[in-house]
Structure 1
Amino acid sequence: MQLLAIRGLKKSFSLYHSPLDRLKERLLGGLRHRDYCALNNIDLTLSAGESLALIGQNGAGKSTLLKLITGVLLPDAGVIERQGRVTGLLELGTGFDHELSGMDNISVNARLLGMSAAEIEMRRATIVEFAELGDYIHEPMRTYSSGMLMRLGFAIAIHADPSCFVVDEALSVGDARFQQKCLRKIRAFQAQGGSLLFVSHDLTSVKLLCNRAIVLDKGQKVFEGTPEAAVNYYYQVIARLEATENASTPTDKTGYGLKNVQMTSAWLHNGIVKTESFSAGEQAYLCIQVIAQQEIKDLELGILIRDRFGQDIFGTNTALLEHELPLNFPAGQQTQLELSFPMNLGIGKYTVTLALHKDMDHLEHCEHWWDNALEFEVAGFHTPIFSGLTYLPLTLKQTLQ
């Protein structure tokens, strides 16, 4: 069943240089504003039990789209069809009266979300308990911090029994423990068949929580696919490397970039033989074959290791390793690079993404970004047995008092 269907959605705003120009236009006539198209011809669907992410740069139209979906804004054109209750956590403070107490705002905000008086009273104690605000629940909300606003807003929205739960960047505030509590609640909501519409710059969370993603850029939908493919496309968008004669498309398995210098192959070995299987703590060597079409100087090599869920486990580049010198590549010559590191990772399968770029990151000048260049597995231990994602050597000291 489709909970949400959007067709041809458009939204524009009138931008004025000053409030005075707005007043002059009303009183005297004439055009004193410019139109800004926040969203143009957006189509999307969300089915029951599905989790959809919206990603894009600031100003891409993500928050505007969520406000249209939740009814905070009205579209200029297009159709929004909803089935069931859609609740969410948008900009902090949305739907609250800051002069009222948190307890009173439970009633105000919950009614805006479509809850009946009986539903509110039935769930009030659960909302208060989840928010963990203590005596502050009886204080005016103008005294609340951003983290406290997020706690109460999330508690009300998730307990409103939604068919679709909408989450904007608000979860990025507050303490880590409560964020983890919210994520556990979202996972439980998903496990019970709830649908999620998720906006975040935390791309690891996008991969973990969602099974489909849409990339927005300048108010347009530019990509739709799996979270991993969408994140890769988003990396290209923020690097401003759109498909040209010299910059490959994001679906190219050899990666994207200007490719004046290109990585042609990559492999791992343990100091003796090539292998894709290691034990935790074993020394690993990563070899990369590079060919330059023209002479390029002062490049940096970047590496990013992800686990099987797409989480970024470790990433760095030679610019961040301050003792490393930039790389130079003569025209027409093949070069081999080698990185060595202890494989201090937990049992599991991993991928390696590689990049050749200038400066501290790949955003301004990316020669070659090669996503998932190779795979490997950690299948045993050269260290004491441990659980989790990484091995940390510990020492114990006991002092008698």
Structure 2
Amino acid sequence: MLEVTDLCKQFRLYDQPVDRLKEAITRRTRHRLHQGLNGVSFRVAPGETLGVIGRNGAGKSTLLKIVTGVMMPDRGRVHTDGRTTGLLELGTGFNAELTGRQNIIANGLLLGLTRREVDERVDAIIDFAELDAFIDEPVRTYSSGMVMRLGFSSAIHAEPSCFVVDEALSVGDAHFQQKCMRRIRDFQARGGSILFVSHDLNAVKMLCDRAVVLEHGTVMADTTPDAAVNQYNRLISGREEDTERDHAAFEDGFGYGTGAARVVGAELAGEDSGAETVASGEWVNIRLVIQAEHPVPDLTCGILLRDRFGQDIYGVNTHYLEERLALSPDDCIELRFRICAELASGHYTLTVALHSAENHLENCYHWCDNLLQLQVAGVRTHPFAGVCRLPTECAIGSAEGPMFKKRIAGS
């Protein structure tokens, strides 16, 4: 459906705008080159969803602009089968002076639809975007969320073969985001291909069949979503250029990090079962042994539960729990967490991380992905739907009381 081959794109950066004119007149170079993309290649099969993740400045937006034809590459080729539409930066393709309805028509024509096809879709686009009261107002009067709703609705109703989605979906309320996700899943079920760019790692894991990790304009990994997210976490922890010593230290697959402090032992067991298989509602003891190789004046230990899809379910660390830890060289301590497994039946993994302060973005000492396994089987108390049980109370009383803040429609 989509094939990208050896894409390269350079940008000229000037210290100040007038340097462009000076360069043109004097013929003296006053710019520096920035390599936005460097030899990017991948393929998206029909019906496949490919995620693209990477740090800010990695080249994600440049890639999408080239794929959708907004920008031309310096070298390389983009081949698509069928219509490709996308939702990139908010307002892309819209004229702020035109009304929402006029922009739907103009945008549809730009996407390759005929005027009859656009007219047939206008009502559906307006209905999905939920902009009936504002559709004949200029787009410059719209909020960012309204622009996103109009853009997504226009793009998805063009019935593309390949749909390109950027971070714009992060704008808007929860109701419309869920509505967009349902429409994306429906598009997937009908065999549509998707190129999905997001910093929402859970969304990448849940929606994508594969994921590409971009760094400095190059493809660092093209693999499963779970493995790609692990690679991304490694990048943002500052370990993208491990030394030979680091590779030797972690060649057994026991994680990565600076090694100033390491997890040297770990076990998990239910208080009643005494094993990794527990009942929903049973307390679970997690025991970690941590050893320091160098002084660590500010140590945080965190745990993260993931379900079988790799979705983050629950995470906590000693920083959040206001437990201060500090280690000297060769110190070895035992740390225990006790959590109640109020989880739905299924298979879970536990990731353990050692770092400083609140998260692993600075001073990542040791990150251990999926270190321990947890199997939840059976339910101790009342059944429930969803991923986890929340404390719930229910009371029955007379209906003759204060008015509800929100009445159910039709009641």
TM bin, normalised by shorter chain, reads over 0.9
Question: 2:174 matched to which residue of 1?
Answer: 176
Query: Is this contact kept in 2: 1:248–1:255, CA < 8 A?
Result: no
Where 1:262 maps in the other structure, the secondary structure is strand
Unaligned 5+ segments in structure 1 are: none
Query: Is this contact kept in 1: 2:281–2:343, CA < 8 A?
Result: yes
Where 1:137 maps in the other structure, the secondary structure is coil
Question: 2:86 matched to which residue of 1?
Answer: 88
Tell me by how many angstroms 1:32 deviates: 2.0
Distance in 2 between residues matched to 1:361 and 1:149, nearest whole Å? 34
Distance in 1 between residues matched to 2:272 and 2:376, nearest whole Å? 17
Where 1:224 maps in the other structure, the secondary structure is strand
Cα distance change, pair 131–122 in 1 and its aligned pair in 2 (3 A):
same
Where 1:134 maps in the other structure, the secondary structure is coil
1:310 is the counterpart of 2:310: yes
Q: Deviations over 1:137-165 (max 9, x none)?
A: 11000001110011111011111111110
1:102 is the counterpart of 2:100: yes
Equivalent position amino acid for 2:325 in 1 = P
Query: Is this contact kept in 1: 2:258–2:365, CA < 8 A?
Result: yes
2:349 to 348, 351, 370: 351
1:73 is the counterpart of 2:54: no
1:64 to 52, 62, 75: 62
- Given the two structures, how large is their TM-score scaled by the length of structure 2? 0.92
Tell me by how many angstroms 1:114 deviates: 1.5
Query: Is this contact kept in 1: 2:270–2:276, CA < 8 A?
Result: no
Q: Report % sequence identity.
A: 50
How many pairs are equivalent? 397
Question: 1:135 matched to which residue of 2?
Answer: 133
Query: Is this contact kept in 2: 1:39–1:65, CA < 8 A?
Result: yes
Question: 2:246 matched to which residue of 1?
Answer: 247
Query: Is this contact kept in 2: 1:288–1:337, CA < 8 A?
Result: yes
Question: 1:221 matched to which residue of 2?
Answer: 219
Question: 2:319 matched to which residue of 1?
Answer: 319
Tell me by how many angstroms 1:270 deviates: 2.4
Cα distance change, pair 330–240 in 1 and its aligned pair in 2 (3 A):
closer
Distance in 1 between residues matched to 2:296 and 2:23, nearest whole Å? 55
Question: 2:114 matched to which residue of 1?
Answer: 116
How do residues 252-263 of structure 1 correspond to structure 2 at under 5 angstroms? Answer: 253-263=253-263
Distance in 2 between residues matched to 1:311 and 1:295, nearest whole Å? 34
Distance in 2 between residues matched to 1:251 and 1:95, nearest whole Å? 49
Question: 1:269 matched to which residue of 2?
Answer: 269
Equivalent position amino acid for 2:309 in 1 = F
Cα distance change, pair 256–392 in 1 and its aligned pair in 2 (3 A):
same
Query: Is this contact kept in 2: 1:212–1:224, CA < 8 A?
Result: yes
1:231 to 229, 232, 239: 229
Question: 1:278 matched to which residue of 2?
Answer: 278
1:195 to 187, 193, 196: 193
Equivalent position amino acid for 2:148 in 1 = M
Tell me by how many angstroms 1:245 deviates: 2.7
Query: Is this contact kept in 1: 2:350–2:370, CA < 8 A?
Result: yes
Cα distance change, pair 271–135 in 1 and its aligned pair in 2 (3 A):
closer
Equivalent position amino acid for 2:265 in 1 = S
Unaligned 5+ segments in structure 2 are: 402-411
Question: 1:19 matched to which residue of 2?
Answer: 17
Question: 1:363 matched to which residue of 2?
Answer: 361
Distance in 2 between residues matched to 1:19 and 1:42, nearest whole Å? 30
More moved, 90-99 vs 264-273: 264-273
- Given the two structures, how large is their TM-score scaled by the length of structure 1? 0.94
Where 2:44 maps in the other structure, the secondary structure is strand
Tell me by how many angstroms 1:399 deviates: 5.4
Tell me by how many angstroms 1:246 deviates: 3.7
Where 1:135 maps in the other structure, the secondary structure is coil
